[in-house]
Chain A
């Protein structure tokens, strides 16, 4: 294998006859922060559990540092997991929890003591050695769960929605902490979440999953700016998804109006899906607009206004803009060519799930 740390090769898994993962291929390089992102039931947690060894794939292989570990039990794998609900040992205090993995490996006492100190410092909980698990808040318990995993110096850390049970403010703080820890430790992170903002904030690389298939892989910028299909566009951030027709290269017809775009190679007069982010819709004077609509809804959001502009065919455009357009006023819509994202229309629902796209 190449210099990738972990490779999933043709992984399939079904539970009770229901296919959860279908022929999944994924490769993670060393020292990357990779996020598996998708709605619940998309197979992201199953993927993580297969890597962790808690689930065996029906078919396919898990390759770790060039070695096939598909049949290796979890305790023989050089990776550690941070579980969703912390899963600390309730009958042990904090230092016993952190020391667990090291004691199993028969490390000397002084080494374990040093490691506990270091780990507690890393997660900003110095002095918590003798506290009980019960006496810690959710956020603190999650930090201990991370400390318990990293003292074992795994090559790979798996995190299963570790911030899911925390409140918003704490979640944001922990996101930055995780990025910092990742940099300090130089460990590869595979992170599972359904929160697209979390994924965009933390990841080097995002894998968007749905119904057991990988929909798109790429950097956060790629995923956000160039979604490959309607699912990804819809799942990551707000977007206007419209049916359109590719007239020819670099020209698309949406709602009867023709927009210049930058996409090529779809053929002539091909039905396509078009994604336009709400912040990419520019509001101009009616006579300058490619399309003309009426503002039907307006909310002040702080950084920008959120508006809905209804065009005569009934489509409601979601618009984020610092320019204000009062409700009831006619307004023109303009979109810069490079802000228009063209995608193939899936021919069937199955194809939609697979996320076929050229």
Chain B
């Protein structure tokens, strides 16, 4: 009984700040401004500008996820091979930026990438052609990869560091070259970490509106931006909630994937 009481504050927190807001979103999403039941807010996803925003968000977050995976896997392998002592310092370096405010980090990229920003300043000084990637989808992807890469590296590092050296040695011993060992042993054994990492990058990337706001200018709208605008600018909570519900479906699918492939929580880094 007393143990159950200890969970009380957390329960109140969850009910107050997760369950009730969720129920409100469901309520708003399924009603018109008059309060009558309607599916129009959900069907609104089919409207061209909404569908386009969802499509772009899916595409960019998918690209970011793949880029993160491609960057993080070799990095996690290097971290693993460096051993605990040296490895943990590199891990520390990786976590370090995560202690800085997310907005500040993204704003810093804005300054770096601007037309007359730091990078173009350096390029100009070196008489090299300037780059124009601020306010493009590429800048958004860059921002997503930069912000979410640690969430991919850590679960991968976690699963990789649990693989016994001799399991790898056995594959080499049985005639597998590096590439075959990668495909037949490294990757299959890191599936829980890969799935967990994919979710931890894909879900926040899909729902972000800050990164697209700061690095995409106001021209590129992701589904996150559309929802944000419905809540803050248009004041249409019903439409915003309806679109959020659609987005939630994708998040639930991701979570179910993790549930399926990472039964023992091996890939969870935190």
Contacts and interface: CB of A to CB of B under 8 A. Distances in A.
Given A90-B189, A91-B188, A84 B174 contact: no
B14 interface: no
Contacts of A100: 171, 174, 176, 184
A83 B172 contact: no
Contact of B176 (A84, A87, A104): A104
Contacts of A80: 173-174
A89 interface: yes
Given A54-B169, A89-B170, A104-B180, A75 B175 contact: yes
Interface in B129-175: 164, 166-167, 169-175
B257 to A, nearest CB: 18
A73 B172 contact: yes
B175 A105 contact: yes
A74 B172 contact: yes
B175 A152 contact: yes
B263 to A, nearest CB: 13
B185 interface: yes
Question: What does DSSP make chain B's interface, helix, strand, loop or mixed?
Answer: helix
A149 B172 CA distance: 12
Given A85-B164, A90-B189, A91-B189, A104 B169 contact: no
A81 B176 contact: no
A293 interface: no
Contacts of A148: 170, 174
B177 interface: yes
Given A91-B188, A91-B189, A152-B175, A83 B180 contact: no
Interface string A135-150: 0000000000100110
A100 B181 CA distance: 11
Given A91-B189, A100-B184, A75 B172 contact: yes
Nearest to A98: B174
A87 B263 CA distance: 22
A88 B176 CA distance: 14
Contacts of B188: 91
B177 A89 contact: no
A83 B169 contact: yes
A91 B171 CA distance: 13
Contacts of B167: 87-90
A101 interface: yes
Contacts of B169: 52, 54, 74, 81, 83, 87
A89 B171 contact: yes
Interface in A83-120: 83-85, 87-91, 100-101, 104-105
Interface in A53-74: 53-54, 73-74
A104 B171 CA distance: 10
Contacts of A85: 164, 166
Contacts of B175: 75, 101, 104-105, 152
Contacts of B189: 89-91
A100 B172 CA distance: 11
A75 B173 contact: yes
Given A74-B169, A75-B175, A101-B174, A87 B164 contact: yes
B44 to A, nearest CB: 44
Contacts of A83: 166, 169-170
A87 B170 contact: yes
B187 to A, nearest CB: 10
Interface in B177-216: 177, 180, 184-185, 188-189
Contacts of B185: 89
A91 to B, nearest CB: 5
Interface in A242-270: none
Contacts of A87: 164, 166-167, 169-170
Contacts of B176: 75, 100, 104
A30 B171 CA distance: 25
Contacts of B172: 53-54, 73-75
Contacts of B174: 75, 80, 100-101, 104, 148-149, 152
A333 B170 CA distance: 54
A299 B174 CA distance: 50
Contacts of A101: 174-175
B83 to A, nearest CB: 12
B229 to A, nearest CB: 46
B173 A52 contact: yes
Nearest to B169: A54
A89 B185 CA distance: 8
B184 to A, nearest CB: 7
Contacts of A145: 170
Contacts of B173: 52-54, 74-75, 80-81, 149
Contacts of A75: 172-177
B171 A84 contact: no
A73 B177 CA distance: 9
A79 to B, nearest CB: 8
Contacts of A84: 166
A318 B170 CA distance: 45
Given A89-B170, A90-B189, A148-B174, 10 more contacts: A52-B169, A74-B172, A74-B173, A75-B176, A80-B173, A85-B164, A87-B167, A88-B167, A104-B174, A152-B175
Closest 6 pairs between A and B when the two form their complex, measured CB to CB = A101-B174, A87-B166, A74-B172, A87-B170, A83-B166, A104-B175
5 contacts: A52-B173, A73-B177, A74-B172, A74-B173, A87-B169
Interface of A: 52-54, 73-75, 80-81, 83-85, 87-91, 100-101, 104-105, 145, 148-149, 152
